[in-house]
Amino acid sequence: MTDVAKILEGVKPNETFVLNLGPQHPATHGVLRIKLTMDGEFITRAEPVPGYIHRMHEKMGENRNLAQFLPNTSRIDYLSAMTYTHAFVGVVERALKIVVPPRAEYLRVITSEMNRLSSHLVWFGAFILDLGGFTPLLYAFDDREKILDLLEGITGSRLTYCYYRFGGLYNDVDEQFLKGTREFTAYMRPRLKMYQSLVTDNIILRKRLENIGPVDAEMCRKYGGCGPVLRGAGVACDTRKTEPYSVYPELNFDVPHYPEGDCMARYRVRMDEMEQSLRIIEQALDRLPEGPVMAAGVPRVHKLPAGDYCYAVEAARGRFMIRVVSDGKEIPWRLKLRTPCFANLSLFEESSRGMMLPDALALLGSLDLVIPDIDR
C-alpha cells in the first residue's frame, strides 16, 4: 500500500475540515480558488473552483470578425502572448492558403522565443518566491526587463502584444532590435549559469522539490497534461517537433525532458528550455533573410471557406490549439480554444492527494498556471 493510500485509509469524515486556498491567496497567482479537504496537514481532496475571472473569449470569437478578435488572443495567456497570436494567425493563414514571407516567419520565431524566455523568467522568480526565496525574483525580473524593452521597441507593448498579422507582421524590425537581441543572448547565458549555482544546485531547493508532486506520463495522458508538465514526466513531446510549424523544422534544438515526474523535473525542464530558446534565437538571427514581412494580396476582409480548421503551437505552458469552424461568413460559426493551463490544472486534484499543504503549493507552482488561460 502506498503512503498516500495509508493516509487516506485512516481518514474519518468527521475528522476532516475544509480549507479555501484562494481566490485571493498569492500562491494561486490569480483569482483561482481551490477547495481543500484536510486531515490535519494532509490533503484528502483538492477541488479547483475556476470561473472567477471568466471573460468568454470563445463566445467573443463567435460574435466578431477575425481581425476584431485578433487582440483577444494575447489576453488569454498574457505571459505567452506572442505564441497565442501565432496560433490564431496560423489557423487563418492555413484556411486562406496565405504564404507568409520567410523573413516574417523567422521574426515570428525570434519574438515568440523571446516571449517564452520572459514567461519562464516570471515563473522562475514567482516559483522560488512561493517556496520562500526572494532574491531570485529580483534577478529574474531584471533579466525580463531587457526582453520587454526589446519587444516594446517593435510592438509598442510590454505584455499583451498584437504584433502578428494575417500574412505576416505589423512592421519590420530595425537594426537596433537585431543588435540588442544578439547582445541579450550573449548576456543571458552566464545568467543561466548563475541561476544554476545560486538556485538549482541549492540543497534547500532540491530537498523542497525532489520526490514531491509526482505526475507520471499516464496521469498526463488521462488529463491532457502537456508542455513542461508532460516533459517533466519523461515524455519528449513538443509541438514544435511533433507538429512542426513556421520555420522550426529548419532550426536545431533539443526537447528537454526528465523521467522523475516530480517538481524538480518540471523545474529543470523549464530552466533547460531557456537555454534552448537562446539556441533557437541565435540560429534564427543568423539565417534571417531579407525581404518583405507581409504577404502580397492579403484581403482586407477575411472570410474563411466553409470548413473545420485547426492550428497548434507550443506555448510557454504547453500545447495551445485554436479550432475554427466556418460556414463561409465573415464571423466564425465556432471558435474553440484548447489551452494548456486548464489541462494541467485538471491533474492537480489527483496528484495532490495525501500531500502536505506546503508540498501541494510547490506542486501548484510547478504547474505554472496563468488563470485567464483557465478562465478563457
* Cell 544578439 found at: 182
Residue 346 has pLDDT above 90, yes or no: yes
Quick one: what percent of the chain has pLDDT higher than 70?
96
* Residue 22 pLDDT grade (very low, low, confident, very high; cuts 50, 70, 90): confident
Of 160, 80, 152, residue with least CA distance to 117: 80
Across the chain, mean pLDDT equals 94
Average pLDDT, stretch 147-168? 96
Question: Grid coordinates in use for 27?
Answer: 500562491
The whole-angstrom separation of Cα 112 and Cα 316 is 9
Residue 101 has pLDDT above 90, yes or no: yes
The whole-angstrom separation of Cα 137 and Cα 273 is 18
Average pLDDT, stretch 328-332? 94
pLDDT at res. 15: 82
21 strand-pairing partners: 34
Question: Grid coordinates in use for 47?
Answer: 477541488
For 216-249, write each residue's pLDDT tens digit.
999 999 999 999 999 999 999 999 999 999 999 9
For 76-88, write each residue's pLDDT tens digit.
999 999 999 999 9
pLDDT at res. 363: 95
Other CB atoms within 10 A of residue 297 CB: 7
* Residue 5 pLDDT grade (very low, low, confident, very high; cuts 50, 70, 90): low
pLDDT at res. 11: 55
Full residue range of the structural domain in which residue 324 is found: 5-374
Residue 325 has pLDDT above 90, yes or no: yes
pLDDT at res. 344: 95
pLDDT at res. 45: 94
Range 308-313 contact pairs with CB under 8 angstroms and sequence separation of 24 or more: 309/91, 309/94, 309/95, 310/91, 311/87, 311/88, 311/90, 311/91, 311/94, 311/245, 312/87, 312/239, 312/243, 312/245, 312/338, 313/83, 313/84, 313/86, 313/87, 313/90, 313/112, 313/239, 313/240, 313/245
CATH number of the domain where residue 261 is located:
1.10.645.10
For 185-204, write each residue's pLDDT tens digit.
999 999 999 999 999 999 99
Give the global pTM: 0.94
CB 32 within 8 A of CB 50: yes
The whole-angstrom separation of Cα 79 and Cα 91 is 21
Q: How many domains does the chain have?
A: 1
Residue 117 has pLDDT above 60, yes or no: yes
Instruction: Find the range with the poorest average confidence among 24-38, 112-126, 293-307, 357-371.
Output: 24-38
